[in-house]
Structure 1
């Protein structure tokens, strides 16, 4: 095991002052104010880069390319969300603080206690006094796939 490997292996047991001393030996200036685990990792990375060299540019470019493509690939791999569709005439029933809440679904409106609302969220806010997602309040969840 090389000297650097020995120092890196000992880092989890080192005091912060010892890690900062290792940072200073690298000539990187004053150690940044970071959480101890992150400072340990950065110090170990800098030590390895000094000993073994930085990641080659071709690999860095490939990592950037993969990182930029990753969100698109992740979105495509998720099953699509099927929106919840409520038919006119559907009754939504929910118990809230001992009250039974019944909402009638109309054509682009919702009726509750003789009044019409544009959204279920407006009704949920009226009932609870707090901001709620109306579909969530009434226990509706979108289905995947």
Structure 2
């Protein structure tokens, strides 16, 4: 499995599209970027080797009873798309890593990104807005 994952790193878009076809039995989406193809193929390889979701997890997803993650642990990554740009924050033991800088709070990162005060947990989808 590790060798297959490593190989993905060096494949070009055309090679990734071919691998996509092999994995999913459908052509790769025309406008999808290599990064997306690479990640989806890697996911497929890992689920084939390690197993996918359990039957209970699949049923929870289908029923809509999946609870959102509200607590983070060190190493977790938070992703937010804001005005067409993707922002990635890594949770540390003490604070958050964003743009190679350690921040004390998610709210300070959200304010930096948007230019206006935001609840960081709301901005990054960890908590619903009270509005």
Q: TM-score, normalised by structure 1?
A: 0.39
Higher relative contact order (CA 8 A, sep 6+): 1
Higher helix fraction (1 or 2): 1
Structure 1 or 2, whichever has the larger Rg, is 1
